[in-house]
Amino acid sequence: MKAKVDPDLCTGCEVCVETCPEVFEMEGDLAVTKVDKVPADAEETCRQAAEECPVEAIIIEE
């Protein structure tokens, strides 16, 4: 599974970084993914981050 952040949508609220720090980190005002492939043990929190993002900026690819 892969995840990415749409930089045009992200408002930098940091919910994803708090929910799933294994995958997301802040780069300036925006979140980015720091891994190419989501580790198996972070998939659940990664999905949760995608659901919780208020602007739905997180794209999950299975």
- Binding region for ligand F3S (CB under 6 A): 5, 10-16, 31, 53, 55, 57-58
CB 7 within 8 A of CB 58: no
- Identify residue 8 by its one-letter amino acid code: D
Q: To the nearest whole angstrom, how small is the minimum distance from the Cβ of residue 62 to ligand F3S?
A: 19
User: Is 12:29 a contact under the CB 8 Å cutoff?
Assistant: yes
- Using DSSP's 3-state secondary structure scheme, residue 21 falls into coil
Q: State the minimum distance, in angstroms, from the CB of residue 40 to ligand F3S.
A: 21
CB of 15 to ligand F3S, least distance (A): 4
